Amino acid sequence: MPIPHLGGVAILISFIIGVLISRPIEIEFKPIIIGGVLIVLLGLIDDKFDLKPIFKLIGQILVTLVPIYYGIVIDRITPFGIEIEFGIFAIPVTVLWMAAIINAINFIDGLDGLATGVSIIALSSIAFITILQGDIFVMMICVILVGSCAGFLVYNFNPAKIFLGDNGAMLLGFVISVVSLMGFKNITLISLFFPVIILSVPILDMLFAILRRYRKKVSIVSADKSHIHHKLQSLGYSHVESVILIYFMALLYAGASIILFLSTVPGAIIISSLLILTTVIIVEATNLTDNNKKPVLNFLRKMVSKIVSVN
């Protein structure tokens, strides 16, 4: 029996209903609702006609202009208390950020329930941090979408009765990219990396996919079987086991982002160092680089074997 690819439509409808129940659609909701409808329409066209990557990217960029029109822009950062204005580069930087997150979620949508579950974890993390910041509006958006995704995940988890489709994956990526900017408006050196840390799993998967394809001198948008979920399955993990393992990875980064938010500067340095080490271990263990080089894992194995032999 054919499985429908209308996940984005289902999530968007339930999200809009949740918004209407919580409060009337005010101007703050408009960029998300309008952009959400447009990105789902783009995804539906892609699911139906398999658009060329360049046309899909152009469509994504046009959709990102909706929140930008409503003033959701990365216009400045303040590292070490020094304010840096992006000026004319504010819009290109914002477009790049949104397009990157849209495609990161789309890239990781390779197994039943994977992109939906990772998005739930990311949105929950953003919601928790915005509660600590006292930003109830962004928290409410995240909670409503988490509810929509959770209801959808019941039917999307393996074996799926409905697929997320490009329309659903791009919708989740779009909303996450927008709320991450709305939730971290006062961007400092550390808070600049909160959304990146929260979304580390899909971002890493996307970056290494681009790197692999560049090395092989093929189009960076060409499909392959070397995404993180493919790597886990090649290591012998089942479909469900691979999805759950990636959930745990996403939870690890999400938890680290919350701890980082609450940390002092020395604590932030320690957490950041541990995150870098963890990321290297994950990349080497799953062979995301496709080069079979594992210097850190080999070093750790040698250290463990020496400790065991001494004892």
pLDDT digits (tens, 9 = 90+) for 131-163: 888 888 889 999 999 999 999 999 999 899 999
Q: Is residue 62 part of a domain?
A: yes
| Predicted local confidence at residue 114, as pLDDT | 95
> Band of the pLDDT at 41, cuts 50, 70, 90?
very high
Name the 3-class secondary structure at 221: coil
Lowest mean pLDDT among 14-18, 115-119, 234-238, 287-291: 287-291
Q: 66 near 34, Cβ under 8 Å?
A: yes
CB neighbour class for 11 (10 Å; exposed up to 12, middle 13-18, buried from 19): buried
Q: List pLDDT tens digits, range 55-96.
A: 999 999 999 999 999 988 887 766 555 667 778 888 998 999
pTM: 0.91
Percentage of the residues of the chain whose pLDDT score is greater than 90: 48
Return d(Cα 307, Cα 132) in angstroms, integer.
Answer: 42
- Helices and strands in the chain: count of H runs, count of E runs: 13, 2
Sign of the alpha-carbon torsion through 177, 15, 245, 43: negative
Would you give the DSSP letter of residue 28? T
Percentage of the residues of the chain whose pLDDT score is greater than 70: 90
| Predicted local confidence at residue 78, as pLDDT | 62
Q: Is residue 73 part of a domain?
A: yes
| Predicted local confidence at residue 186, as pLDDT | 52
Return d(Cα 107, Cα 225) in angstroms, integer.
Answer: 11
| Predicted local confidence at residue 122, as pLDDT | 94
Return d(Cα 253, Cα 197) in angstroms, integer.
Answer: 6
Determine phi and psi for 68, rounding to 5 degrees: -65, -40
Return d(Cα 1, Cα 59) in angstroms, integer.
Answer: 31
Using the predicted structure, report yes or no on whether residue 215 has a pLDDT greater than 70.
yes
Q: Is residue 269 part of a domain?
A: yes
| Predicted local confidence at residue 75, as pLDDT | 77
List CB contacts of 311: < 8 A, sequence separation 6 or more: none
Q: Average pLDDT in the 18-43 region?
A: 86
Q: Average pLDDT in the 226-235 region?
A: 89
H helix or E strand, kind and range, residue 77: strand 76-77
Q: List pLDDT tens digits, range 120-136.
A: 999 999 999 888 888 88
Q: Which residue has the higher pLDDT, 81 or 109?
A: 109
| Predicted local confidence at residue 195, as pLDDT | 79
Q: List the binding residues.
A: 106, 166
Using the predicted structure, report yes or no on whether residue 1 has a pLDDT greater than 70.
no
Return d(Cα 105, Cα 112) in angstroms, integer.
Answer: 13
Quote the Cα angle for 217-220-225, to 5°. 90
| Predicted local confidence at residue 189, as pLDDT | 46
- Mean pLDDT (the chain, rounded): 87
Structure tokens at 198: 């929260």
Would you give the DSSP letter of residue 172? H
- Structural domain range at position 274: 7-310
Integer distance in angstroms from the first to the last C-alpha of the chain? 59
Number of structural domains the chain divides into: 1
Q: Is residue 2 part of a domain?
A: no
Return d(Cα 97, Cα 79) in angstroms, integer.
Answer: 18
Q: List the binding residues for Mg(2+).
A: 106, 166
Q: List pLDDT tens digits, range 173-213.
A: 999 999 988 876 555 445 556 778 888 999 998 898 888 88
Return d(Cα 286, Cα 232) in angstroms, integer.
Answer: 6
Q: Which of 175, 205, 168, 2 is nearest to 98 (CA)?
A: 175
Q: Is residue 212 part of a domain?
A: yes
Q: Is residue 1 part of a domain?
A: no
Tell me, rounded to whole angstroms, the distance of Cα 209 from its chain centroid: 15
